[in-house]
Amino acid sequence: MTRETRRTGTPESSEFPTRFYDLVKEVTIALVLVALLTAGLAALFSSPDDGPVTIALVLVALLTAGLAALFSSPDDGPVTLGSWSRADSADFTATAASELGGTSGTAQYGPPYNHTPGAGQKIGPVSLQRLAGVHIPIDTAQDFVIQPLSRAPEPPPVTKALAVWNAASPDRRQAWTSAYSDALGKAPNGNPARVAPGPYGPVPVLMARLLELARSGALDGELLTEGSQFYQTDYTRPLLFLGDGNYFADLAQSRHLSGDQWGMMNETGNYPGQPWLWLYTFWYQIEPFKSSDNADALIWGLMALLSLGLILVPFIPGIRSIPRWTRVYRLIWRDYYRAQRPPR
């Protein structure tokens, strides 16, 4: 015992036994194992990528850039209104008709886009959407169809069709779009060029011209230039238009990116995706959330409660004592407790 120990009663650190421990070696081994496991699982469960993928896994020079070749796929380019209209003109025209008639998903969504009566998800009697209000106002007929056509240079037949549409009453417009949508559904393969003659008013002319704008790529630009900002980076309107059709959803389904395929965790181009979202997406796959019209609001509330519970774990009697009851700490610090046992 040293003089310092006799004076203070506290042993010096040099009096404790020591042993060699290579921290760098352990970190390196752990990094290699985790990286190999991650790369293997990504190769098994990842989704196709619409863009080139590069996986940079630093494995202390043990893994090389050749792993990127395992996860790359051809680049098909971004999904736009132009690519949609060229790939599936029938679906584009049917969706445009629903936007014009106010029957699409966006048109009837409610806040934050419009004041559709009765729309909006609720938690009990509280409508979260209505509490937030309409702060991204969108009139699908005007914003997606009429205004883009009005701003583009139009031939006389289209200008006349726009004038007839603007002069008609809301009931008359609804009758035109409803009759055209029904006839489009009965046309062979939904081909707008093979719709039977009927009382559609100016709708066929407007739809044909909008399809031309979309195929040329002009419609994407028209929807982006709406608003007063000089730099246009708000893709809300094109994305809502795309989301109202079937083409975008079918594309996601074919690439295993839909909700029931855990699409949020299979994000293309980012391996292994966002595994931390599994708890959120899990609830959409089970009842009562799966079939509920208020699934988004209910799951948001549930996750808020679970997150609050996780934060309050140290303060909840019983739960905070689980580590002490299970004595898991003795497993973690087993070397220490083994050394404390009295010799036999």
DSSP states of 218-246: HHHHHHHS-SS-SS----HHHHHHHHHSS
SS3 273: coil
Enumerate residues 6+ apart whose C-beta is below 8 A from 87.
247
In the chain, DSSP assigns E strands to: 122-123, 126-127
* Relative orientation angle of helices 236-244 and 89-101, to the nearest 10 degrees: 110
Q: What is the pLDDT of residue 104?
A: 94
pLDDT in tens, 94-137: 999 999 999 999 999 988 898 888 888 888 888 888 888 888 89
Share of the chain above pLDDT 90, in %: 41
Residue 64 bridge partners (DSSP): none
Enumerate residues 6+ apart whose C-beta is below 8 A from 209.
149, 154, 158, 161
The helix, strand and coil proportions of the chain, stated in percent and rounded to the nearest 5, come to 60, 0, 40
Beta strand pairing status for 126-127 and 122-123? antiparallel
pLDDT in tens, 125-171: 888 888 888 888 999 999 999 999 998 888 899 999 999 999 999 99
Please give the structure tokens belonging to residue 196.
């039977």
Q: Are the beta carbons of 72 and 52 closer than 8 angstroms?
A: yes
Q: Are the beta carbons of 247 and 92 closer than 8 angstroms?
A: yes
| pLDDT bucket at 264, cuts 50 / 70 / 90 | low
Long-range contacts of 256-261 (CB under 8 A, 24+ apart): 256/47, 256/48, 257/47, 259/284, 259/285, 260/284, 260/285
Placement of tokens 């899990």 in the chain? 282
Placement of tokens 């998903």 in the chain? 105
Q: What are phi and psi of 122, to 5 degrees?
A: -130, 155
pTM: 0.69
Distance CA 245, CA 242 (A): 6
> Which H or E run includes 177?
helix 170-186
Closest CA to 207 of 109, 106, 103, 85: 85
The pLDDT of 194-212, averaged and rounded, is 94
Name the more confident of 11 and 240: 240
> What's the mean pLDDT when you consider all of the chain?
82
| pLDDT bucket at 91, cuts 50 / 70 / 90 | very high
Q: What is the pLDDT of residue 278?
A: 80
DSSP 40: H
Task: Find the range with the poorest average confidence among 136-140, 266-270, 282-286.
Answer: 266-270
Q: Are the beta carbons of 140 and 149 closer than 8 angstroms?
A: no
Closest CA to 203 of 94, 90, 95, 97: 97
Highest mean pLDDT out of 28-37, 61-70, 258-267: 28-37
Task: Find the range with the poorest average confidence among 53-57, 118-122, 166-170, 246-250.
Answer: 53-57
Name the more confident of 202 and 13: 202
Q: What is the pLDDT of residue 186?
A: 92
pLDDT in tens, 285-328: 899 999 998 899 999 999 999 999 999 999 989 888 888 888 88
Closest CA to 81 of 144, 161, 152: 144
Distance CA 149, CA 103 (A): 20
Task: Give the length of the chain.
Answer: 344
